[in-house]
Amino acid sequence: MNEILPKMLAEYGDDLLDGFVVTLQLVGLSVGIGAVLGCFVAAWRMSKNRLVRWVTWFYTNLFRGTPLLAQLFLIYYGAGQFSGFWRDVGLWWFLRDPFNCAVLAFILNTAAYQGEIFRGAVKAVPAGQWEAGAALGLSKRITFRKIILPQTAMIALRPFGNEIILMIKGSAVASVVTVYDLLGETRLIYSDTFRFDVYFYAAALYLVLVETLRQVWNLLEKRLTRHLAPTRTSSAKRPLEPSAMGAA
């Protein structure tokens, strides 16, 4: 047994690492572009225009209320049903690639979640912060950038990190549309070797990625909230001497 495992890793280890890189690309692109789109979604959800609010509400509830796998199928297989139209508008080169379809599905999905995270974080900032900015003579734009946005970032940091972790684990569904991410490569290796333990190696790589992100997020959270740490006074550090207590 001990002689077989190193041989399998030596033969298929590069394939697992290639799939790991594809997973990083899927998650990085979807979360990065999704964050930009999520900012617009949050702004549109708080818009004064009722039509804009309704359309954005429908979008967020649609993508948050349906499975990611179903969304991926609709984009990947649904686009193929209208290949002639996409050729006419010059987008078939993008939609015929399963990797691009997976990224598009992930972007639309995570943007809906991130939009709600950002909107909730903005709403969680006390209204008195806006009033304080107005009392100082600051415009709403400067108040938002200098006062509201830093507080919003602290509130949204932890939910945003959880969303990235969920996207890392959810990215495994890309393998069902022939995207050779980490799980896709693992399935190919299993079909060649019928060694079920290859899934344990894949799970270990997922675990390493998630745990690394979690540690980085903890450090980032400590950095952003360092000013909120309680400070101990000198009296708390050193108890009163008996003479001082008696005098009191």
DSSP-assigned letters across all residues of 17-63: HHHHHHHHHHHHHHHHHHHHHHHHHHHHHT-S-HHHHHHHHHHHHHH
Write out the DSSP string of 159-200: HHHHHHHHHHHHGGGGGGGT--SHHHHHHHHHHHH--TTHHH
Beta carbons within 10 angstroms of residue 26's beta carbon: 23
Nearest CA-CA partner of 75 in 90, 86, 60: 86
pLDDT for the residue numbered 191: 87
pLDDT for the residue numbered 247: 45
pLDDT for the residue numbered 81: 86
pLDDT for the residue numbered 189: 87
Span 12-36, average pLDDT: 93
pLDDT for the residue numbered 3: 53
Task: From residue 8, give the alpha-carbon distance in Å to each of 17, 44, 52, 150, 237.
Answer: 14, 52, 55, 49, 58
pLDDT for the residue numbered 40: 95
Helices (H), 125-148: 127-135, 140-143
Span 50-73, average pLDDT: 94
pLDDT for the residue numbered 128: 83
pLDDT for the residue numbered 64: 94
Coarse DSSP helix, strand, coil percentages of the chain, rounded to the nearest 5 percent: 85, 0, 15
Tell me whether residue 199 is exposed, middle or buried, using C-beta atoms within 10 angstroms of its C-beta: 0 to 12, 13 to 18, 19 or more. middle
Cα separation, 129 vs 225, in Å, equals 18
pLDDT for the residue numbered 1: 46
Quote the mean pLDDT of the chain.
85
Cα separation, 218 vs 224, in Å, equals 10
| 241: alpha, beta or left? (left if phi > 0; alpha if psi -120 to 50) | beta
pLDDT of 241 over the 70 cut = no
User: By mean pLDDT, which of 87-96, 126-135, 176-185 is the weakest?
Assistant: 126-135
* Range ranked top by mean pLDDT from 27-31, 197-201, 228-232: 27-31
Which domains does the chain possess?
4-228 (1.10.3720.10)
Q: Around 225, how many Cα atoms within 13 Å sit in the side-chain half-sphere?
A: 16
DSSP letter (8 states) at residue 130: H
Q: How many helices (H) and strands (E) does the chain have?
A: 13, 0
pLDDT tens digits along 185-212: 999 988 888 888 888 889 999 999 999 9
Question: How many degrees, rounded to 5, is the angle at CA 65 between CA 63 and CA 70?
Answer: 65
pLDDT for the residue numbered 49: 92
What are all long-range contacts of 210-216, with beta carbons under 8 Å and residues at least 24 apart? 210/165, 210/168, 210/169, 213/161, 213/164, 213/165, 213/168, 214/161, 214/165
Q: What pLDDT band is residue 55 in, cutting at 50, 70 and 90? A: very high
Phi, psi of 176 (to 5 degrees): -75, -10
